[in-house]
Amino acid sequence: MILGLALKSLRNRRFTAALTVLSIALAVALLLGVERLRQESRESFGSSVSGTDLIVGARTSAVNLLLASVFRIGNVANNVSWSTYQRIAAQPEVAWTIPLSLGDSHRGFRVLGTTSDYFAHYRFAGNRALELAQGRRFGDAQEAVLGAEVAHVLRYGIGQEIVIAHGAGDVAFALHSDHPFRVVGILARTGTPVDRAIHVSLAAIDAVHAGHEEHADDPLAAALKAAGQEHRLNAGDRVDGRDHAMADGTDKAASERTISAFLIGLKNRSAALFMQRRINESRDEPLTAILPGATLLEVWQIMAAAERSLFVVSMLVVVIGLAGMLVALLTSLNERRREMAVLRALGARPWHVFALILGEAGFLTILGMVLGIAALYAGVAIGRPWLEEHLGVYMSVGWPSATEFGYTMLVLAAGVLIGLIPAYRIYRLSLADGMTIRV
Amino acid sequence: MTSRAGTDGEQWAASDAGRAAHVVDLSDLRFSWRADASPIVAIDSLRVARGERVLLQGPSGSGKSTLLSLLAGVLKAQQGSVRILGRELGGLAAASRDRFRADHIGVIFQMFNLIPYLSVLENVCLPCAFSSVRRTRCEQAGAGVDTTAARLLDNLDLRGDDILRRPVTELSVGQQQRVAAARSLMGAPELLLADEPTSSLDADRRAAFLELVFRECERERTTLIFVSHDASLAPLFDRALEWSALNRPMMVRAPVQ
């Protein structure tokens, strides 16, 4: 009966009540959305590289190397010479290597030059290998394998011809239009940056740049190229003789080739620290080797500050939502004192009056929470493609995590706690008022 | 009188209420809002018999409403005895007084009687939500709660399904007062307390309203204590008491000083 009264009373004030519920719902959706985004971005970051024991690039910061090589965020300033790569790949501890050559793009998507080892050894999300959804791996210099997202966004299929551009931007300054590629394969979706890459062979990258150099219509690229050659020359001096021992025995183009970075899988994981040290201290060429897991932790530390401030903001929004409810409840009290006096005359006890207001606060909070969660799920369902495309974050529509559940309970507790204020106030008022309101 | 096993208070209702000599029996009653203030209510003795209709006439703001709150058990006297239906209210805990009020006392106010978001019927049935005793009485009278409410409204000249389902805010003041009267009489409480219920009505409506309330009180032999500043109502009642003669706070204060 008291419940029925409370509901009818609420229906009577449905406009204010709806606004209160709306503000709580938005606050809860924001709070949980921020938390979910944090979880999912960590997860998708964390699952982007697995099974790789070391990542090696030219000397740079660990975070920069990780972001550039795996997440394709930013660029590496210097390259690694092919001979040095060969030398390290030949070490007895090394099980496999994947060379990565970045720096070109196609309509905003990065082009990754690599070898077929990429398909054989690259692992993500635990121990999943790359799979082709359509077609086959690239073979000769004119073939490309697309990530799932690339194919989806650009609506490319097998047989599509593409032209790659120098640089990573959406708007390219120099097109390698004399070297069009043909799409021969499309990878299955992975939920990692692989989806957003166009994979071609290293030889293809060489060919593109060899041709491009002759045109010399991009002074910046030409300058970079020249600097790179000079560097390689220096490096080549020291590792003289080893260049001849190249496994694939390719021509001069391959010997002058540089790569952005390479991934290493070791025969024995426990050798990772030892190898890292040896590479970092190598005098042949200044290199940086990182343990992806350890560097990922560094990335989290950098992101933690941003995450925290985002969290604080969303918490504040929850506080504002609940404060709105408090204001709505308090302003309704004067009007409701008469109501309470009538109920008291009819035999309602002061705690009935207390429960009526507290119940209302609890009900509004729960309703707001439920709507907020519903809004979040709807938002995730609707916003998923956009998030994938623009942020590379893959949101899953799953049950709320323990943390999310914890936050919801926290909001509920805060809502009820805030409800105590008007409830206690009207309790005191109705004790003093009795059946007649003394204003 | 209903017979119903339950808590102490309810068992008492079955056994003693009928035998109580007076429905209201006050003696040596003192009440003040603050402990250090002089009492606003000071009544040496007041007895009201069953079925009696008493008018308490006096100026506004002189403590008449406070007396009604004391009789209803919403307020508790600092001193003296308030016996309603033979039950000493001072000896009851607050929750028991609330239940006692729900079971045995009906109240009509001057204004703001009704819950605005409930329909006429819902308002009238409200006492039965707080008191199973009154609900049982409605049922024992051979009718359900809704039927009893409709009958009471009918007796008070509020007829038809149309009016039962209407929001109370759409009614005129006179109609609202009659709805309030019907509600206070639901489940035949032994004592009806009325606090200036006619002051917002014009003279014709006032007389008509009183006539309807009296008729209902007679039917159930309900005791009525009616508070008003309007002396012209006095001839209509069994007994009219001058508030200033009954309540003598100054007389109390003198010996203390």
- Which SS3 state, helix, strand or coil, does residue B8 take? helix
Residue A341 — φ and ψ, nearest 5°?
Answer: -65, -40
Mean pLDDT of A20-40: 89
Per mean pLDDT, which range of A23-27, A124-128, A283-287 is the poorest?
A124-128
Q: Does B133 touch chain A (CB under 8 A)?
A: no
* Amino acid A420: pLDDT: 93
* Amino acid A238: pLDDT: 37
Q: Is the pLDDT of residue B164 over 70?
A: yes
Query: What's the whole-number average pLDDT of chain A?
Result: 82
Write out the two tokens for B188: 């035949």
Pick the most confident of A70-79, A93-102, A422-431: A93-102
E strand intervals along chain B: 24-31, 41-48, 53-57, 79-84, 87-88, 105-108, 191-195, 223-228, 239-242
* Amino acid A209: pLDDT: 74
* Amino acid B206: pLDDT: 85
Closest CA relative to residue A423, chosen from A342, A297, A312, A336: A336
A374: pLDDT confidence band, cut at 50, 70 and 90? Answer: very high
- Express as a percent the part of chain A with pLDDT over 70: 84
Q: Does B12 touch chain A (CB under 8 A)?
A: no
B191 in Cβ contact with B142 (< 8 Å): no
State the Cα–Cα distance between residues B197 and B18, nearest whole angstrom: 28
A316: pLDDT confidence band, cut at 50, 70 and 90? Answer: very high
Q: Is the pLDDT of residue B3 over 60?
A: no
Q: Is the pLDDT of residue B53 over 60?
A: yes
Pairing mode, strands A123-124 and A128-129: antiparallel
Mean pLDDT of A197-207: 87
- Express as a percent the part of chain A with pLDDT over 90: 24
Mean pLDDT of A117-121: 89
User: Mutate which of A431, A435, A438, A439 to disrupt the B interface (most B C-beta within 10 Å)?
Assistant: A435
A96: pLDDT confidence band, cut at 50, 70 and 90? Answer: very high
User: What string of DSSP letters covers B63-96?
Assistant: SHHHHHHHHHTSS--SEEEEEETTEEGGGS-HHH
* Amino acid A10: pLDDT: 86
A393: pLDDT confidence band, cut at 50, 70 and 90? Answer: low
B148: pLDDT confidence band, cut at 50, 70 and 90? Answer: confident
User: Mutate which of A16, A356, A436 to disrupt the B interface (most B C-beta within 10 Å)?
Assistant: A436
Q: Is the pLDDT of residue B197 over 80?
A: yes
Pairing mode, strands A123-124 and A174-175: unpaired
Shortest CA gap A434–chain B (Å) = 6
* Amino acid B132: pLDDT: 87
Shortest CA gap A13–chain B (Å) = 9
B148 in Cβ contact with B186 (< 8 Å): yes
Taking only the tens place, the pLDDT of each residue in A321-356 is: 899 889 988 988 888 888 888 888 888 888 888 888
State the Cα–Cα distance between residues B132 and B127, nearest whole angstrom: 9
* Amino acid A168: pLDDT: 57
* Amino acid A226: pLDDT: 56
B256: pLDDT confidence band, cut at 50, 70 and 90? Answer: very low
User: Cβ contact (<8 Å) for A11 and B118?
Assistant: no
Residue A174 — φ and ψ, nearest 5°?
Answer: -135, 120
Ordered alpha helix ranges (H), B107-144: 120-130, 132-140
Mean pLDDT of A418-422: 92
Out of A5, A345, A349, whose CB is closest to B107?
Answer: A345
Is the alpha carbon torsion for A189, A290, A69, A199 positive or negative? Answer: negative
User: Cβ contact (<8 Å) for B102 and A346?
Assistant: yes
* Amino acid A234: pLDDT: 44
User: Cβ contact (<8 Å) for A346 and B113?
Assistant: no
Closest CA relative to residue A434, chosen from B168, B97, B242, B167: B97
* Amino acid A241: pLDDT: 36
Contacts of A341 in chain B (CB under 8 A): 109, 112
User: What string of DSSP letters covers A142-177?
Assistant: TEEEE-HHHHHHHT--TT-EE--EESSSSS-SEE-T
Mean pLDDT of B62-76: 88
* Amino acid A205: pLDDT: 83
- Which SS3 state, helix, strand or coil, does residue A99 take? strand
A249: pLDDT confidence band, cut at 50, 70 and 90? Answer: very low
SS3 breakdown of chain A: % helix, strand, coil, rounded to 5? 60, 15, 25
A421: pLDDT confidence band, cut at 50, 70 and 90? Answer: very high
A176: pLDDT confidence band, cut at 50, 70 and 90? Answer: low
* Amino acid A390: pLDDT: 66
Mean pLDDT of B102-114: 86
* Amino acid A215: pLDDT: 45
State the Cα–Cα distance between residues A100 and A128, nearest whole angstrom: 19
- Which SS3 state, helix, strand or coil, does residue A416 take? helix
Closest CA relative to residue B134, chosen from B169, B60, B186, B75: B186
Q: Is the pLDDT of residue A368 over 90?
A: yes
* Amino acid A216: pLDDT: 44
Q: Does B63 touch chain A (CB under 8 A)?
A: no
ipTM for the whole complex: 0.81
Q: Which domains does chain B have, with CATH numbers?
A: 8-256 (3.40.50.300)
Q: Is the pLDDT of residue A32 over 50?
A: yes
Closest CA relative to residue B223, chosen from B180, B171, B256, B184: B184
State the Cα–Cα distance between residues B124 and A59, nearest whole angstrom: 86
Mean pLDDT of B16-39: 78
A242: pLDDT confidence band, cut at 50, 70 and 90? Answer: very low
**Number of residue pairs across A and B with CB atoms under 8 Å?**
71
* Amino acid A437: pLDDT: 62
Residue B47 — φ and ψ, nearest 5°?
Answer: -130, 135
The reported pTM is: 0.70
Vertex A29, ends A25 and A33: CA angle to 5°? 175
User: Cβ contact (<8 Å) for A345 and B101?
Assistant: yes
Contacts of A348 in chain B (CB under 8 A): 98, 102, 130
State the Cα–Cα distance between residues A395 and A41, nearest whole angstrom: 8
CA atoms within a 13 Å half-sphere pointing along the CA-CB vector of A354? 11
Taking only the tens place, the pLDDT of each residue in B112-132 is: 778 888 889 888 988 888 888
Shortest CA gap B115–chain A (Å) = 6
Q: Does B68 touch chain A (CB under 8 A)?
A: yes
A68 in Cβ contact with A75 (< 8 Å): yes
Q: Is the pLDDT of residue A392 over 70?
A: no
